Amino acid sequence: MNTEKILLAHGSGGKLTHRLIREVFLKEFGNELLEELGDSAIFPVAEGKLAYTTDSYVVDPIFFPGGDIGRLSVCGTVNDLAMSGAKPLYLSASFIIEEGFGLTELKTIVSSMKKAAEEAGIKVVCGDTKVVPKGGVDKIFITTSGIGLIPSGTEISPRRIMVGDEIIINGTIGDHEIAILSQREGLEFSSKIQSDVAPLNHLVASMLEVAGNEIHALRDPTRGGLATTLNEFVHNAEFGIKIYEDKIPITDGVRGVCELLGLDPLYVANEGKLVAVVSQNSRQKVFPCLKKNTLGLNARVIGEVIPEPKGMVLLVTRIGGTRIVDMLTGEQLPRIC
Amino acid sequence: MNTEKILLAHGSGGKLTHRLIREVFLKEFGNELLEELGDSAIFPVAEGKLAYTTDSYVVDPIFFPGGDIGRLSVCGTVNDLAMSGAKPLYLSASFIIEEGFGLTELKTIVSSMKKAAEEAGIKVVCGDTKVVPKGGVDKIFITTSGIGLIPSGTEISPRRIMVGDEIIINGTIGDHEIAILSQREGLEFSSKIQSDVAPLNHLVASMLEVAGNEIHALRDPTRGGLATTLNEFVHNAEFGIKIYEDKIPITDGVRGVCELLGLDPLYVANEGKLVAVVSQNSRQKVFPCLKKNTLGLNARVIGEVIPEPKGMVLLVTRIGGTRIVDMLTGEQLPRIC
């Protein structure tokens, strides 16, 4: 077991920084753009539309069932690009590391990022490392940004949502946050709950291929969960959304932990889920391609876009009542992503 | 005085997050791309070459003479783009904030970012906010990434450096790190030392306009200072670099603090400086344009590219001796950027 630790000098810009870059980052991410080690990565682009996004990842614990902070930091940004209809191309990765953090753990995280980047088909082309004295940061934070190419003619936007559209989710809700929570709280009975963290770009590409612009809007229900994503869609809009509790896929494990802890699964975060708003007649096109992908096996139509009440999300409960689903208010669990 | 604090709920993705985005980030950065609030910013590009870069900023103190973490986080990334010869276009900004951080301080930082972005002519088009429980991060860290357009025909790269080229710096060295250090250590006699943090892209654009591809390489001597930048140029190269101690601009204040604390100014960080390696005969073209810009008033030719010894940086000292200038080894001051 290598017990080498990250030192302040690893972030100094000097010899140890260059060694860390060569022996950890270039070793895993190595590609012709990153290897230039210039102030910027430089690449040609064709005329077109680009998507650009960023997220910081501060998840605690950094290793959790189904993933780690490295996998999360790649998939999260890849998914934000995919939700714009973009094909992910290039990723930046910036590390803030606590002095004394294990070099072995860092290598494991970087290796996990490499694997996720390969799954998604994205290249890590630029990065940065800062080391902060002990106590200045809790273990490791990673910020990624990504650039993707939006295929000509693709236009995915909440503005395209129309009354009558159907709401599809590609699988069970709540798995990521409940996996983090179970690990953090040592809930042993729920040890089988795994984070759903996964890159969704190939799934989105296949949906776009069969249904094209009949896919009106896409969004990944991360922080704030499904409820918040649907509320973002209806915000200031000339329509509402109605969903059906009994159609929303959820595992018994996640439901159990939510009941035990008094959490509403509609507000619990996902990292491998997408909500698609599609035109009324495109279900037949989209579903076969969802079901062909392991990430879409449990896909369901969970509701539809309604003319009234405007700007609201309604939930038809299991027993047939209807209630308003508001955006998340107040606190949620910190450091879930 | 507004004493409102940042709460965990500001990073939850729910109502308070949306309020923070509207009232702080959109208020300052507002532009049509950011205002979409989609998962990604979307913009058209023409066929060409893009530059892409990222850096995390963890500077302590967050407010220092001559700037703050906000200005630094914009200028640092703008400068990395400029050093590739790129015109900076778009910036991402991701914030990791400690629970309890002052809302007023956050607004001051964001406002400072906006001002720096305006100076540079770059738009903040996407971002993220995470709030970490008290003790998980020291006050605030910012990670920016940037995209720039490299004008057709521009090729700035250390690979273009040739024997006989001249080494130019646009002003005095060490100001940024010594300003941080003085503030941190309460060195009152040095209270006039201000960070040089500034966007260099307009200066670079004017140099490229007059000298074009006679500018072979550009780099900003940040962490690790001038010595490290020059060593990066000669790494694995078929040439060496010779610089002259008495030609390197440095203020009496910075020299004094360096002598007092036993620091070598060659290794001390800058945030508004560039090192340009230019062809032997282009000095006459470049200097007038440097001197026209306040950021280039103290520009000097500090050395030249020599055939031997390959891969080494030599310093001719004030008293006429010659010594090897190695890359920074061991520790440097933490959290200077």
What is the 3-state secondary structure of A66-120?
A: CEEHHHHHHHHHHHHHHCCCCEEEEEEEEEEEECCCEHHHHHHHHHHHHHHHHHH
* Integer Cα distance of B16 and B120 in angstroms: 31
What is each CA distance from B133 to A23, A179, A333, in whole angstroms? 33, 20, 10
Q: What is the mean pLDDT of residues A30-47?
A: 92
Q: Residue B334 in contact with residue A16, Cβ under 8 Å? A: no
Mean pLDDT of chain B: 95
- The SS3 of residue A195 is coil
pLDDT digits (tens, 9 = 90+) for B294-312: 999 999 999 999 999 999 9
Tokens found for residue A273: 């889920």
Q: What share of chain A in percent tops pLDDT 90?
A: 90
Q: What was the pLDDT predicted at B189?
A: 65
Per-residue confidence at A137, pLDDT binned at 50, 70, 90? very high
pLDDT digits (tens, 9 = 90+) for A176-233: 999 999 998 887 665 689 999 999 999 999 999 999 999 999 999 999 999 999 999 9
Asked whether the predicted pLDDT for residue A46 surpasses 70, the reply is yes
Minimum Cα–Cα distance from B330: chain A residue: A9
Please, which residues have CB within 8 angstroms of residue A74's CB and are 6 or more apart in sequence?
Answer: A91, A113, A116, A117, A120, A122, A144, A199
Among the partner residues A16, A46, A84, nearest to B38 by beta-carbon distance:
A84
A93 contacts in chain B (CB < 8 Å): 54
Q: Which is more confidently placed, A172 or B329?
A: A172
Tokens found for residue A152: 């000509």
Q: How far is A312 from chain B (nearest CA, A)?
A: 15
Pairwise CB contact (< 8 Å): A41 & B55: no
Tokens found for residue B35: 């205002």
Pairwise CB contact (< 8 Å): B137 & A133: no
Considering only A52-56, A150-154, A274-278, which range has the smallest mean pLDDT?
A: A150-154
Angle between the N-to-C axes of helices A201-211 and A69-82, in degrees from 0 to 180, rounded to the nearest 10: 20
Pairwise CB contact (< 8 Å): A42 & B228: no
Per-residue confidence at B187, pLDDT binned at 50, 70, 90? confident
HSE of B220, CA atoms in CB hemisphere, 13 A: 29
Angle between the N-to-C axes of helices A201-211 and A283-291, in degrees from 0 to 180, rounded to the nearest 10: 150
Minimum Cα–Cα distance from A137: chain B residue: B137
Minimum Cα–Cα distance from B12: chain A residue: A332
Q: How far is A94 from chain B (nearest CA, A)?
A: 6
Q: What is the mean pLDDT of residues B25-54?
A: 94
Q: Tell which of A143, A147, A231, A235 to mutate to test the B interface (max B CBs under 10 Å).
A: A143
Tokens found for residue A52: 């650009």
A57 contacts in chain B (CB < 8 Å): 130
Per-residue confidence at A1, pLDDT binned at 50, 70, 90? low
* Integer Cα distance of B138 and A136 in angstroms: 5
Q: What was the pLDDT predicted at B191?
A: 63
Among the partner residues B44, B46, B92, nearest to A145 by beta-carbon distance:
B92
pLDDT digits (tens, 9 = 90+) for B84-115: 999 999 999 999 999 999 999 999 999 999 99
* Integer Cα distance of B130 and B142 in angstroms: 10
Q: What was the pLDDT predicted at B150?
A: 96
Q: What was the pLDDT predicted at A333?
A: 85
A11 contacts in chain B (CB < 8 Å): 223, 334
Q: What is the mean pLDDT of residues A286-292?
A: 96
* Integer Cα distance of A315 and A324 in angstroms: 6
Pairwise CB contact (< 8 Å): A52 & B147: yes
What is each CA distance from B236 to A55, A175, A256, B215, B326, in whole angstroms? 36, 49, 60, 21, 14
Could you give all domains of chain B from N- to C-terminal order, each with its CATH number?
8-150 (3.30.1330.10), 158-324 (3.90.650.10)
Q: What share of chain B in percent tops pLDDT 90?
A: 90
A267 contacts in chain B (CB < 8 Å): 14
Q: What single-letter DSSP state applies at residue B268? A: S
Among the partner residues B9, B145, B147, nearest to A331 by beta-carbon distance:
B9
| Other Cβ atoms closer than 10 A to B195 | 27
Q: How many degrees, rounded to 5, is the angle at CA B277 between CA B274 and CA B278?
A: 120
Pairwise CB contact (< 8 Å): B39 & A145: no
Minimum Cα–Cα distance from A335: chain B residue: B132
pLDDT digits (tens, 9 = 90+) for B232-288: 999 999 999 999 999 999 999 999 999 988 999 999 999 999 999 999 989 999 999
The b-or-e profile of A295-334 (16+ CB within 10 A means b, else e) is bbebbbbbbbbbeeeeebbbbbeeeeeeeebebbeeebbb
Tokens found for residue A56: 């910081």
DSSP for B36-70, written as a single string = G--SSEEEEE-SEEEEEEEEEE--SSSEETTEEHH
Minimum Cα–Cα distance from A9: chain B residue: B331
HSE of A89, CA atoms in CB hemisphere, 13 A: 20
Q: Tell which of A29, A33, A43, A53 to mutate to test the B interface (max B CBs under 10 Å).
A: A53
Among the partner residues B8, B14, B269, nearest to A329 by beta-carbon distance:
B14
Asked whether the predicted pLDDT for residue B1 surpasses 80, the reply is no
The b-or-e profile of B200-229 (16+ CB within 10 A means b, else e) is bbbbbbbbbebbeebbbbbbbbbbbbbbbb
- The SS3 of residue B75 is helix
Among the partner residues A90, A150, A220, nearest to B42 by beta-carbon distance:
A150
* CB contacts < 8 A (A, B): 288
Minimum Cα–Cα distance from A158: chain B residue: B38
Q: Report chain B's C-alpha Rg in angstroms.
A: 21
Asked whether the predicted pLDDT for residue B315 surpasses 90, the reply is yes
Pairwise CB contact (< 8 Å): B136 & A60: yes
Among the partner residues A47, A92, A157, nearest to B145 by beta-carbon distance:
A92
Q: Tell which of B52, B144, B150 to mutate to test the A interface (max A CBs under 10 Å).
A: B52
pLDDT digits (tens, 9 = 90+) for B193-203: 999 999 999 99
- What is the amino acid identity at position A97? I
Asked whether the predicted pLDDT for residue A313 surpasses 90, the reply is yes
Strand partners, B57: B142
pLDDT digits (tens, 9 = 90+) for A232-282: 999 999 999 999 999 999 999 999 999 988 999 999 999 999 999 999 989
Largest CA distance in chain B: 66
HSE of B19, CA atoms in CB hemisphere, 13 A: 13
Query: What stretches of chain B show up as alpha helix (H) in DSSP?
Result: 15-20, 27-29, 69-82, 103-120, 175-185, 201-211, 225-234, 252-261, 283-292
Instruction: Map tokens 């791309």 to a residue.
Output: B33
Q: Residue A124 in contact with residue A147, Cβ under 8 Å? A: no
- The SS3 of residue B98 is strand
What ipTM was reported for this prediction? 0.96
Pairwise CB contact (< 8 Å): B53 & A41: yes
Q: Residue A52 in contact with residue A145, Cβ under 8 Å? A: yes
Minimum Cα–Cα distance from B138: chain A residue: A136
Q: How far is B46 from chain A (nearest CA, A)?
A: 4
Among the partner residues B50, B56, B223, nearest to A94 by beta-carbon distance:
B56
* Integer Cα distance of B58 and A92 in angstroms: 18
Per-residue confidence at B190, pLDDT binned at 50, 70, 90? low
Among the partner residues B40, B47, B329, nearest to A47 by beta-carbon distance:
B47
Per-residue confidence at A94, pLDDT binned at 50, 70, 90? very high
Pairwise CB contact (< 8 Å): B42 & A50: yes
Q: What was the pLDDT predicted at A29?
A: 96
Q: How far is A330 from chain B (nearest CA, A)?
A: 5
Asked whether the predicted pLDDT for residue B225 surpasses 90, the reply is yes
B223 contacts in chain A (CB < 8 Å): 11-14, 17
